[in-house]
Copies of this chain bind each other. A is one copy, B any other.
Amino acid sequence: MTKFFGIGVGPGDSDLMTVKATKAIKELDILYTPIARKGMKSTALRIATPFVDDSLEIKERKFPMTKDADERQKSWQLVADEVIADVKSGKNVGMLTLGDPSVYSTFSYIQKLVESQIEIEIVAGISSFSQIAATLKQPLMLDEESLTVIPATKPTEVISKFIDDNQNIVIMKISAKFDEIFDLLNQKSLLNNATIISNASMENENIIQVSELTKQAEIPYFSTMIIKK
């Protein structure tokens, strides 16, 4: 029976894909890759390229980065309908996701729209926060420590509480609200405890101590903050 595979390609370095991900890609008849706009390259596809045969049918599909929930829902439904039709016609179909398909991924939305009709298989990937710990050579957590992962889009007072309540905090998509979080860390005297990694494991990887920045700093899109108290 054919399936729909959600395949995590990890944070950027192609070698951080699992062996299972590379084998799953070989089984596919059709590979969906998300792009933000027509003509843009898919980062996930670039990462997977060493393991993609030339003969594999690639379907680039638009996943607009918009706050308009209706527009997003409409684009997901279009892709979901097409995926269902492909799998039902006897094709093995895959979709690539950056990082781990279980961590804030668009794949999860498509999954919800198709899982009542076709079989799903998820291939876990290295998440950006896992790679950040490896890059910094610092454990994410030890002993009885907790780790909390939150998106920067949460209300600032909620982020403040999470910082107070945890030893280790990862804030995803930090570029969305860096100035407010900078102020928060400054108030808490935690600027020296915070590090930002941009483009972890990619060629343009960059590690920045937050204490060396100002609140006006421009932070690249693929950036994550880790706070260790």
- Pairwise interchain contact A19-B22, C-beta atoms closer than 8 A: yes
B151, A148: Cβ atoms under 8 Å? no
- The stretch of A58-66, A75-83, A104-112, A213-221 in contact with B is A104-112
A73 to chain B, nearest CB (A): 13
A152-183 near B? 1/0 per residue, CB < 8 Å: 01100000011001100000000000000000
Contacts of A105 in B (CB 8 A): 139
- Give the size of the chain A interface in residues (CB under 8 angstroms): 53
Chain B residues near A14 (CB-CB < 8 A) = 19
Residue A131 lies at the interface, judged by CB distance under 8 Å to chain B: yes
Which residues of A pack against B, CB within 8 Å?
Answer: 10, 13-20, 22-23, 100-105, 108-109, 111, 115, 120, 122-127, 130-131, 133-135, 137-144, 146-151, 153-154, 161-162, 165-166
Picked from B23, B120, B133, the residue with its CB within 8 Å of the CB of A137 is: B120
Question: Interface of chain A, helix or strand or loop or mixed?
Answer: mixed
- In the bound complex, do residue A124 and residue B130 qualify as a contact, i.e. CB atoms below 8 Å apart? yes
A139 contacts B19, CB within 8 Å? no
Q: Are A111 and B137 in contact (CB under 8 A)?
A: yes
Assembled-state Cα–Cα distance A153/B130 (Å): 22
Known pairs A14-B19, A18-B10, A120-B137; A166 contacts B148 (CB<8 A):
yes
User: Given the interface contacts A134-B101, A149-B141, does A15 sit within 8 Å of B15 by beta carbon?
Assistant: no
Residue of B nearest to A120 (CB): B137
A17 touches B19 (CB 8 A): yes
Q: Are B104 and A141 in contact (CB under 8 A)?
A: yes
With A20-B13, A124-B133, A133-B122 in contact, is A147–B149 under 8 Å at CB?
A: yes
Closest B residue, CB atoms, query A149: B147
Q: A127-B130, A148-B148, A154-B146 are in contact. Are A141 and B103 (CB under 8 A)?
A: yes
